[in-house]
Amino acid sequence: MTKTISAVKAFIDTYDSEPLTYQDLDDAIEAICCSVEFRSLLLALIESNAFSEEFGKEFASVEAISGLSACRRLRSSLSLSLGSFFGLLTELTTAFDAAIGTEWSLFSNRLYQSDLGKTKLLARLLSSRDADFYQELAAHLVKANPHALYPTSSYRESRGHVVSTLDGLSIEAVMSASTFTSIKVLENSLDPQQHLLRDMYIAFKRCVCLIDQNVERYYGQKIEDYFHHHQIRLDKLVYRAMEVDKGIHTVERMLGDFKRLGVSRNEPVLIVGGGVLSDTGGLACALYHRNTPYVMLSTSIVSGIDAGPSPRTCCDGFGYKNLFGAYHAPILSITDRSFFKTLHPGWLRHGIAEIIKMAVVKNVELFEALEEAGSQLILSRFGTVHCQPDDEISRRSQRILGLAMQSYVEAEYDNLYETHQCRPHAYGHTWSPGFEIESGLLHGHAVAIGMGFGAYLSYRLNWISAEELHRILRLISSFELSLWHDILLNQETLWAAQEKMVQKRGGNLAAPLPKGEIGHCGYLNSLTREQLHEAILGYQTICADYPRQGIGIEPLCRDVGLEDPSTTFHSSVELIAHPENGAQMLSEV
């Protein structure tokens, strides 16, 4: 058992609950913070190896994962306000003992409602009877562990080492960074009795929120009511978030709003919406102060199991998908399927493509669950309409979301900065970024075409059998997703897409494809222009035998009420060809 977990358990077993009932909060703080048990716990938290794999496994082994995020943030205890500190201590103790956690919760709520709650823990300790001890501790930490004393963010830390020649004219350095995030599949996150968002923002007394215009229409009032109930000021910024809005101009507007509202570098922005807003909003947070934390509340399937928890924030540029971007993961990602009940069926299909992606190359159990659920996923909107919480489709929907999320995060977070290209979650995303905008396809349909073609390539390479190929194509088609679009016959577009992807992937194609069997992945790194065209023609023949000759239902952006992004593509192409018309073209885009 780690020193930290031992210290937490010892604190819970030996603390004196009487100070929690003192009428004078300052007297209560003095009694709590000057106890031997508190000092031992505080030192253990500060010294914890919170980013290590073993640390996480220890929490999992004692079934206390719900307290892991709080424990990691408590490494920076001394820099926290009293309200934040005792709020996090409540989360930590609750994970080990719910009854004890309730006592600390009542106490932390009193602090949040008082002016004392805004005082930093270190400032209060330096005015306590143990001031000398904490003065020496603070002086020691300045050099030994500055993250514990003056963190920019309690979610990140960095390390480095340097060697140089004696004259300092030649220097070699190595830098590393660690960060952590929490991913939750949660029901009814905007119910006032659900405290996850409340606990994130109550210490700041306000929440700056980016919200999708369409989400605002359905849930805007509910969001306002939630934060009003918890007496947290809400600064709501409503953005249109269609595919055509996924440009740098949107990101610039967000940056301007952050500046106007004075967003602090340690204040998490709340993003409420789908894939477009998670990409653009996340990028704006990455750029603002070079690192502003954010919480992602996903309202679509794409954002819920893919774009939401993804560290890859981005926007489109010059007619190409995701040309600009930064690696900046949310500190908390929430997938709440209660939002799915208002989604257009076309949006559900579009999102399911990202789940199929993980099933084909990462998780055969997920693949089988999708086969079993079938069209019921769309008809029931993932078990949120025309069914009860204990119905089979509701349980299956939860299981599918959980498996998809787990598979995605395992693949994504093991390669946070894309330092290599063995990325199974890029399945379906090799050629599709090059034809998605030009064709006007919804992202999910473009990815589905990419997956179908990728499975066919895998079959041609003898990596999977004909039976497995058609099992994959049948699954894609069963959700009425596209297997084919005539854009594939445009040789210039397809070859340009491949060339751009090779540039993006560091000189390698590294196209992830199913290999060996469903649920496993291999990488194709060589495909000539002639081989690509020949494979496209063979794939077209295969698709002809599927419903609608492989054409999906409502495959285009305009089919589900979105503006056609191909208009942006053609404007961008014209801008590149005739830069002298830049000002006019940019105004059109």
CATH number at residue 498: 1.20.1090.10
pLDDT surpassing 80 at residue 576: no
Give 465-513 pLDDT, tens digit per residue.
999 999 999 999 999 999 999 999 999 999 999 999 999 999 999 999 9
Residue with tokens 């939750």: 184
Give the model's pLDDT for residue 135.
Answer: 96
The verdict on 196 and 300 lying in the same domain is yes
Average pLDDT over residues 292-320: 91
- Which residues is 512 bridged to in the sheet? 523
User: Who has greater pLDDT, 569 or 351?
Assistant: 351
Give the model's pLDDT for residue 268.
Answer: 97
The verdict on 483 and 558 lying in the same domain is yes
The last residue of a domain, from among 342, 371, 395 = 342
Q: Rounded distance, CA 253 to CA 517, Å?
A: 46
Give the model's pLDDT for residue 472.
Answer: 98
The verdict on 300 and 230 lying in the same domain is yes
Give the model's pLDDT for residue 364.
Answer: 97
The verdict on 90 and 194 lying in the same domain is no
Give the model's pLDDT for residue 141.
Answer: 96
β-strand pairing of 332-335 with 320-327: unpaired
Which tokens belong to 89? 């201590």
* Domain presence at residue 115: yes
Residue 496 domain boundaries: 422-567
Concatenated DSSP letters for 459-497? HHTTSS-HHHHHHHHHHHHHTT--S--GGGG-HHHHHHH
Average model confidence (pLDDT) across the chain: 92
* Domain presence at residue 160: no
568: confidence class by pLDDT, cuts 50, 70, 90: low
3-state secondary structure of 299: coil
pLDDT surpassing 90 at residue 566: no
Instruction: Map 65-87 to HEC letters.
Output: HHHHHHHHHHHHHHHCEHHHHHH
pLDDT surpassing 80 at residue 444: yes
Which tokens belong to 557? 């952006």
Q: Please answer whether residues 398 and 336 qualify as being in contact, where contact means their C-beta atoms are separated by less than 8 angstroms.
A: no
Average pLDDT over residues 124-152: 94
Query: Residue 511 is inside which H or E element, if any?
Result: strand 511-515
Q: Rounded distance, CA 501 to CA 511, Å?
A: 9
* Domain presence at residue 48: yes
Residue with tokens 């040309």: 323
* Domain presence at residue 352: no
Q: Please answer whether residues 272 and 239 qualify as being in contact, where contact means their C-beta atoms are separated by less than 8 angstroms.
A: no
CA 185 to centroid of chain Cα atoms: 12
pLDDT surpassing 70 at residue 261: yes
Q: What is the CATH number of the domain that holds 331?
A: 3.40.50.1970
Give the model's pLDDT for residue 308.
Answer: 87
The verdict on 147 and 207 lying in the same domain is no
Give the model's pLDDT for residue 344.
Answer: 87
Give 551-562 pLDDT, tens digit per residue.
999 999 999 888
pLDDT surpassing 50 at residue 573: no
Residue with tokens 């605002």: 216
Give the model's pLDDT for residue 567.
Answer: 67
The last residue of a domain, from among 320, 342, 364 = 342
Give the model's pLDDT for residue 488.
Answer: 97
Q: How far is CA 527 from CA 394, 523, 524, 535, 537, in A?
A: 43, 11, 8, 10, 15
Give the model's pLDDT for residue 320.
Answer: 79
- Judge residue 285's burial from the number of C-beta atoms within 10 Å of its C-beta, 0-12 exposed, 13-18 middle, 19 or more buried: buried
**Phi–psi pair at 156, nearest 5 degrees:** -135, 155
The verdict on 266 and 143 lying in the same domain is no
Give 74-89 pLDDT, tens digit per residue.
999 999 999 999 999 9
Give the model's pLDDT for residue 125.
Answer: 96
The verdict on 316 and 189 lying in the same domain is yes
Give 218-244 pLDDT, tens digit per residue.
999 999 999 999 999 999 999 999 888
Give the model's pLDDT for residue 589.
Answer: 26
Give 102-121 pLDDT, tens digit per residue.
999 999 999 999 999 999 99
Task: Name which of 332-336, 464-468, 518-522, 570-574 the model is least confident about.
Answer: 570-574
The verdict on 145 and 216 lying in the same domain is no
* Domain presence at residue 24: yes
* Domain presence at residue 11: yes
The last residue of a domain, from among 282, 315, 342 = 342
* Domain presence at residue 95: yes
Give 181-219 pLDDT, tens digit per residue.
999 999 899 999 999 999 999 999 999 999 999 999 999
Please compute Rg for the chain using Cα positions: 26
Count structural domains, the chain.
3
pLDDT surpassing 60 at residue 586: no
Which tokens belong to 436? 């998605």
The verdict on 428 and 501 lying in the same domain is yes
* Domain presence at residue 589: no
Smallest CA-to-CA distance from 359 within 436, 455, 430, 435 is with 455
Q: Please answer whether residues 304 and 155 qualify as being in contact, where contact means their C-beta atoms are separated by less than 8 angstroms.
A: no
- Single-letter amino acid code for the residue at 240: R
pLDDT surpassing 90 at residue 2: no
The verdict on 146 and 186 lying in the same domain is no
582: confidence class by pLDDT, cuts 50, 70, 90: very low
Q: Please answer whether residues 521 and 531 qualify as being in contact, where contact means their C-beta atoms are separated by less than 8 angstroms.
A: no
The verdict on 146 and 214 lying in the same domain is no
CA 491 to centroid of chain Cα atoms: 35
Give the model's pLDDT for residue 23.
Answer: 94
The verdict on 496 and 554 lying in the same domain is yes
